[in-house]
A and B are shown apart, each in its own frame.
Chain A
Amino acid sequence: MKKHKLILIITGAVFVVSVILSVWILRKSDRTMIEIVQNGTVLQTIDLNSAKDQDIRIESPDGSSYNIVSIRGGRVSVSEAGCPDQTCVKMGTLQSDHLPIVCLPNKLIVRFAEGGAS
């Protein structure tokens, strides 16, 4: 088999596997415990079932920026960010086990905690 055909087949295989994994990753979570992680350390763990509606302000490690994590009706999202790209805000509410809300500039992760199934 020619080299470029092999490359084509490998690329196609990676694509198909990625599509399958994406579907799996984007499934909705049945967990209720979330954790807010910054720079690899867990800052807070919250149970969405019992949590009141609240806004949690989190400063970035160097203090130059911030994020506001909002809990509304048992759903969590980042409602405000001090960074220019606002990607974490646009991501909306946290839905999947595998896809955390990430703010890269402020090194912040909001995700479902392990073993917190309802």
Chain B
Amino acid sequence: MNVRQITRLGLLTAAALILFIVELRFPSIIPVPGIKLGLANIVTVYAVFRFTPGETAMMVFARVLLGAMFSGNFSALIYSASGAFLCLLGMLALRGILPQKQIWLCSVIGAMLHNIGQVLAAAAVMRSWAVAAYLPILLVAGSVAGLVTGLAAQLILSRTGSNKL
């Protein structure tokens, strides 16, 4: 990896972290664990379509880890990490299939996979499938949030053309 790549990824990670921390200050409208807007997802979607899978994975890994550190909520790390992992896997698989105009759909599916990952991790930690009841509610909220962040990412991707950053 050369200096140029490291700088780009560092900038993206920083941008994602800033969005993540700004979002922590928002009061939660729906008091269900796991529901949030996920603004940092804008950066992930951008990276999926502009960087190699390896680079994107590194960026997401750094963001999730640093996000847990900065928010001080380490117990949430296992949920965000498993969610982010599934989300990333799904979006990387979709990036070759979906046309430019449907990047938002990639984000929606990514958000849904994130929710599924969260619930699976929660079920494993709690040793109970009771938490699975949250899944439909998380999926509805997640798809709406994924649509918003996906459209934002799509707008950024189409405005920046093929330039990397």
Nearest-neighbour CB distance to chain B for A104, whole angstroms, equals 6
Inter-chain contacts of B137 with A (CB < 8 A)? 18, 22, 25-26, 99
In the assembly, what is the distance between CA of A82 and CA of B98, in Å? 45
Inter-chain contacts of B126 with A (CB < 8 A)? 39-40, 102, 104, 107, 109
Interface residues on B, range: 20 to 34
Secondary structure dominating the interface of B: helix
Given contacts A3-B97, A11-B105, contact A21 B125 (CB under 8 A): no
Interface residues on A, range: 20 to 34
Q: Check B97 against A4 for contact (C-beta < 8 Å).
A: yes
Closest to A23 in B: B136
Given contacts A25-B136, A40-B126, A109-B128, contact A84 B97 (CB under 8 A): no
Inter-chain contacts of A15 with B (CB < 8 A)? 139-140, 143
Nearest-neighbour CB distance to chain A for B68, whole angstroms, equals 12
A54 at interface, CB cutoff 8 A:
no
Closest to A106 in B: B75
B5 at interface, CB cutoff 8 A:
no
Out of B76, B97, B135, name the residue touching A7 (CB < 8 Å): B97
Q: Check A39 against B127 for contact (C-beta < 8 Å).
A: yes
Out of A22, A26, A83, name the residue touching B75 (CB < 8 Å): A83
Inter-chain contacts of B33 with A (CB < 8 A)? 85, 87-88, 102, 104
Inter-chain contacts of A18 with B (CB < 8 A)? 135-137, 139-140, 143
B: residues with CB less than 8 A from A are 28, 31-33, 72-73, 75-76, 79, 94, 97-99, 102, 105, 108-109, 112, 122, 125-128, 130-131, 133-137, 139-140, 143
A: residues with CB less than 8 A from B are 3-4, 7-8, 11, 14-15, 17-19, 21-22, 25-26, 37, 39-40, 83-85, 87-88, 90-92, 98-100, 102, 104-105, 107, 109, 111
Besides A40-B127, A99-B134, A107-B126, 18 more A-B contacts (Cβ < 8 Å) are: A4-B98, A8-B105, A11-B112, A14-B112, A15-B139, A18-B136, A22-B140, A39-B127, A87-B31, A102-B126, A102-B134, A104-B75, A104-B125, A104-B126, A107-B125, A109-B126, A109-B128, A109-B131
A-B contact pairs, 9 of them (CB 8 A): A11-B108, A18-B137, A18-B139, A18-B140, A25-B133, A99-B134, A104-B125, A104-B126, A109-B130
